[in-house]
């Protein structure tokens, strides 16, 4: 009673059809990958399938949330009291600082009004919670519990109490994915607080540091220098802490200094984060200012006046833009 050999039970080796099918599937996968890489379909698909995808995220986030709840539930009174005490002290300190800052901010506001700039110190933020979901990509991403229904848009900066965490990368109806500043594909324009040197901080491969690969050799940069956002590029508003320089060394090429920095934000411990709503001012020159001078209907009516007037207008308009008045 020999067992009949059919396609589904090859004892030693598969047949040609199996290999052919494999090749077809692999080719299909490669085509999908290329199309997705070029067009970014996946996010549109995910947005469409969000009714399925989002509950799964919440489900996968349950264990992490459970552990968090348990740690609160089983924490002893002693520790909670201590924590409460510390938070009170922090709040007191922060409030004291704020009170002193309020006067300065007020003054700053007035001076800025005098200077006629629109930039304000007020923060327009939205609180969001982190969902504990692991999305592959070697820990360079966070998932938040707010999405396009809460008014979140791609590109919004995300901060925590200590500094910049990253920016919103993709948005689903009720979740958002944040690209952290330590992502190797991320770059953030920074300024070194002490010396005012402007440079760019990139994410690094090992995932918990920032790299500043192109600092001029003559620049004054030391370990311990603080990095702030410079506001260049128009995505992150200026003045937020980004990190602290850990080490500086000449690059292998000998043409630049390379620095490593530690992010200021608690990238792997934050549970609550803030989404900034006011985007930085758009870059580029300010809007056209109306040229000053007497109204055009008061111009003397000569024979060549309209033509002359037009040329004068077109010449003076760029000049008034270029020279601040």
Partner 1 sequence: MNKQRLSLWWFIGTLVFALVSMLVPLPGVLEPFKPYWPALFLLYWSLESEDRVTLGLAFMVGLGADLLNGVVLGEQALRLCALVFIALRFRSRLRFFPMWQQALAVLALLLNDRILLLIVRVLAGGTLPPASWWISPFVGAALWPFLFLLLDDLRARLRIQ
Minimum CB–partner distance for residue 85 and partner 1 (Å): 27
Under a CB-based contact definition with an 8 Å cutoff, are residues 152 and 171 in contact?
Answer: yes
CB closer to partner 1, 22 vs 289: 22
Residue selected from 25, 71, 86, 312 as contacting partner 1 according to rule CB under 8 A: 25
Which region, left, alpha or beta, applies to residue 248 given φ > 0 means left and ψ of -120 to 50 means alpha? Answer: beta
Residue selected from 173, 184, 213, 238 as contacting partner 1 according to rule CB under 8 A: 184
Near partner 1 by CB under 8 A, which window of 96-104, 134-142, 157-165, 212-220? Answer: 134-142
Q: Residue 140 forms beta bridges with which residues?
A: none
Minimum CB–partner distance for residue 47 and partner 1 (Å): 11
Residue 191 binds to partner 1 (criterion: CB under 8 A): no
DSSP state of 234: S
Angstrom distance (rounded) from CA 296 to CA 290: 12
Residue 70 binds to partner 1 (criterion: CB under 8 A): no
Secondary structure (DSSP) of 112-162: HHHHT--------EEEEEEE----SGGG-EEEES--GGGT--TT-EEE-SS
CB closer to partner 1, 45 vs 288: 45
Residue 2 binds to partner 1 (criterion: CB under 8 A): no
Tokens (6 digits) for 16: 């040609």
Q: Which H helix or E strand runs over 180?
A: strand 176-180
Residue 32 binds to partner 1 (criterion: CB under 8 A): yes
Angstrom distance (rounded) from CA 70 to CA 29: 42
Under a CB-based contact definition with an 8 Å cutoff, are residues 259 and 214 in contact?
Answer: no
Tokens (6 digits) for 186: 């991320």
Near partner 1 by CB under 8 A, which window of 5-13, 220-228, 249-257, 287-295? Answer: 5-13
Minimum CB–partner distance for residue 177 and partner 1 (Å): 7
Residue 154 binds to partner 1 (criterion: CB under 8 A): no
Residue 8 binds to partner 1 (criterion: CB under 8 A): yes
Number of residues that bind partner 1 (CB under 8 A): 49
Under a CB-based contact definition with an 8 Å cutoff, are residues 125 and 274 in contact?
Answer: yes
The contact set with partner 1 (CB under 8 A) reads: 8-14, 18, 21-22, 25-26, 28-33, 35-37, 41-43, 45-46, 49, 53, 56-57, 59-60, 63-64, 132-139, 170, 177, 184, 205-207, 268
């Amino acid at each position: 009673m020999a067992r009949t050999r059919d396609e589904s039970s090859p004892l030693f080796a598969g047949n040609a059809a199996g290999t052919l099918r494999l090749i077809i599937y692999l080719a299909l996968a490669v085509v999908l990958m290329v199309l997705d890489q070029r067009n970014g379909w996946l996010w549109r698909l995910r947005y469409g399938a969000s009714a399925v995808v989002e509950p799964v995220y919440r489900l996968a986030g349950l264990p992490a949330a459970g552990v968090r709840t348990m740690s609160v539930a089983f924490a002893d009174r002693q520790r909670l009291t201590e924590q409460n005490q510390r938070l009170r002290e922090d709040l007191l300190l922060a409030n004291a600082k704020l009170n002193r800052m309020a006067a300065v901010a007020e003054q700053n506001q007035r001076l800025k009004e005098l200077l006629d700039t629109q930039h304000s110190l007020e923060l327009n933020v939205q609180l969001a919670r982190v969902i504990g979901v692991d999305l592959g990509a070697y820990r360079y991403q966070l998932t938040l519990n707010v999405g396009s229904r809460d008014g979140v848009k791609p590109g919004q900066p995300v901060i925590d109490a200590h500094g910049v965490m990253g920016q919103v990368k993709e948005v689903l109806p009720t979740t958002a994915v944040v690209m952290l500043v330590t992502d190797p594909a991320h770059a953030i324009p920074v300024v070194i607080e002490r010396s005012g040197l402007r440079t760019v901080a990139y994410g690094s491969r090992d995932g918990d540091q920032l790299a500043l690969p192109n600092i001029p050799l003559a620049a004054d940069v030391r370990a311990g220098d603080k990095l702030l956002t410079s506001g260049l590029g128009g995505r992150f508003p200026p003045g937020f802490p980004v990190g602290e320089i850990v080490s500086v060394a000449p690059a292998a090429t000998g043409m630049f200094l390379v620095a490593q920095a530690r992010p200021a934000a608690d990238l792997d411990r934050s549970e609550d984060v803030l989404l900034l709503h006011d985007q930085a001012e758009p870059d580029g020159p300010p809007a056209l200012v109306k040229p000053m001078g007497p109204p055009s209907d008061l111009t003397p009516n000569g024979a060549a006046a309209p033509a002359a007037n037009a040329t004068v207008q077109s010449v003076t308009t760029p000049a008034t833009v270029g020279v601040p008045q």
